[in-house]
Structure 1
Amino acid sequence: MLSLKEIKERLEQATGSETWFKELENDTRIGAQKLINSWERKQQKLLLEKKAHEEKVLFDRSFCTNEQDLVAGVDEAGRGPLAGPVVTAAVILNAHAEELIGLNDSKQLSKEKRNELAIKIKNNAISYFIHFQTVEKIDELNIYEATKQSMTESVLHLHKRPSVVLVDAMKLPIDIETHSIIKGDAQSLAIAAASILAKTARDEYMDQLHERYPQYLFNKHAGYGTKEHVERIVKYGPIEHHRKTFEPIKSILKK
């Protein structure tokens, strides 16, 4: 009879078709049953992730007229914060990109998982571009226009011209067929990938900003208007990386 340690090691590589698997199903030890139940839950999760992945791929391909068409997904990170840039990304993925099974809305994933996926996305991309829109531009144009301009730059800097562009809830002024998709990162693999690239790039930027201005804790809240962040703005005053047209910074500067 296999030890529980041996069972655990074998299950890490098991498909369920192994000759010893039937034997394991009949193992009455509580520890053995817990291990197989855990394995079955993991397999069920993988099946659901694979199904969701295939649905996202089909969604993207539904906008194509032929096999050669390239789909670009576009998304942003950082429209709401009081500090830091808004970051946008455009990405064209290889067909199917099975390495990206499990890719989901960036807000639903841990920072570690997002960083892991960002590497895989770059490895599976035909082309991608990440654009940083400055605080100065955000204050000059307003956040909506600044984000739109940044998204446009992301698409135009792709080294492969896409046949169709899918954007998360935004219309872009470009001469390429474009579709604005509500909650696009939940439906489109390309948009979900762009969301991850934008989010990880912005988080890295805010972590670097924290090294220069540790008193604001940018690595903790990424510039969002948390109670702690606002208290520190009041205490230390806004810096050049704070958005001066956003409240409460606008009111603080008037005092």
Structure 2
Amino acid sequence: MKYILGIDEAGRGCLAGPVYVAAVLFYENYNNPSIKDSKLLTPEKREYAYSIIKENAVWYQFYLLSNLVIDNLGISKAIYLLMRQLYEDTIKLFPNYNITTIIDGNFDPIKEEKTSSLIKADRKIIAVSAASIVAKVERDNYMKIIAKEFPQYSFETHKGYGTKKHINEILNYGLSSIHRKSFILSSKAMDYAKS
């Protein structure tokens, strides 16, 4: 029997909070129309799709790295580290399974025989769509919880992304302990806030 392991991330471009990377393992021919790229689903439909994933995936897992690690390593290196760890952990759990791994994007950080990257894989491969949902739902839920510690930043609404509102909150209140200092107040962000 053949299996597809999909890997995707959530939170790459955020100004605050961790980055999440998820992996979902499905039978090769598994299909469900409710599972789509997380960006195409409302929060309610993402939650529903996540419940389907929990019931039907052979296996799923997510890992995260904090803003401090992101500031230290850089966002791409942090994501690639998590992707490799998820891949290795999956292969250890299922050593005799015939698994093909697909990573969303244009770069394969794993570089093993049966791994590859695919641009917009989260819209083409259901296991990658599922991974995008797991990463997004888990990260959004974390940001809703952490918002209670930092009510002035409205993390429950923008989830740490660089919205005009969020940038204005940074200008008004300064940086919190979960802001990515390496991402903050670039000239583009400042220009956006002033427009």
Q: TM-score range by the shorter chain?
A: 0.7 to 0.9
Match of 1:157, SS?
Answer: helix
Higher radius of gyration, 1 or 2: 1
Residue 180 of structure 1 is matched in structure 2 by 117
Residue 99 of structure 2 is matched in structure 1 by 163
- TM-score w.r.t. the length of structure 2 is 0.87
Letter in 2 for 1:115: E
With 223-232 and 168-177 compared, the bigger mean Cα shift is at 168-177
Residue 206 of structure 1 is matched in structure 2 by 143
Stretches of structure 2 that go unaligned for 5 or more consecutive residues are: 191-195
Whether the aligned pair in 2 keeps the contact of 1:152 and 1:174 (CA below 8 Å) is no
Whether the aligned pair in 1 keeps the contact of 2:22 and 2:61 (CA below 8 Å) is yes
For residues 2 and 38 of structure 2, the distance between their equivalents in structure 1, rounded to whole angstroms, comes to 26
Letter in 2 for 1:146: A
Residue 79 (structure 2) pairs with residue 147 (structure 1): yes
How does 1:70-109 map onto structure 2 within 5 Å? 70-98=3-31, 100-109=32-41
Residue 120 (structure 1) aligned to one of 32, 45, 52: 52
Q: Select the structure that is richer in helix.
A: 1
User: Whose RCO is larger (CA < 8 A, sep 6+)?
Assistant: 2
Instruction: Provide the aligned C-alpha RMSD in A.
Output: 2.0
Residue 217 of structure 1 is matched in structure 2 by 154
Following TM superposition, by how much is the alpha carbon of 1:249 offset from its aligned partner in structure 2, in angstroms? 7.0
Change (3 A) 1:239 1:93: same
Following TM superposition, by how much is the alpha carbon of 1:175 offset from its aligned partner in structure 2, in angstroms? 3.7
Whether the aligned pair in 2 keeps the contact of 1:74 and 1:191 (CA below 8 Å) is yes
Match of 2:148, SS?
Answer: helix
With 169-178 and 195-204 compared, the bigger mean Cα shift is at 169-178
* Superimposed CA distance per residue, residues 108-156 of structure 1 (whole angstroms, 9 cap, x where no aligned partner): 1100000111011011111111011111111111111111111112222
Whether the aligned pair in 2 keeps the contact of 1:94 and 1:124 (CA below 8 Å) is no
Residue 176 (structure 2) aligned to one of 239, 242, 252: 239
Stretches of structure 1 that go unaligned for 5 or more consecutive residues are: 1-67
Following TM superposition, by how much is the alpha carbon of 1:69 offset from its aligned partner in structure 2, in angstroms? 2.4
- TM-score w.r.t. the length of structure 1 is 0.68
Match of 1:103, SS?
Answer: coil
Change (3 A) 1:186 1:81: same
For residues 154 and 214 of structure 1, the distance between their equivalents in structure 2, rounded to whole angstroms, comes to 33
Letter in 2 for 1:91: V
For residues 27 and 112 of structure 2, the distance between their equivalents in structure 1, rounded to whole angstroms, comes to 23
Whether the aligned pair in 2 keeps the contact of 1:93 and 1:190 (CA below 8 Å) is yes
For residues 25 and 50 of structure 2, the distance between their equivalents in structure 1, rounded to whole angstroms, comes to 13
For residues 247 and 238 of structure 1, the distance between their equivalents in structure 2, rounded to whole angstroms, comes to 9
Following TM superposition, by how much is the alpha carbon of 1:70 offset from its aligned partner in structure 2, in angstroms? 2.0
Following TM superposition, by how much is the alpha carbon of 1:102 offset from its aligned partner in structure 2, in angstroms? 2.8
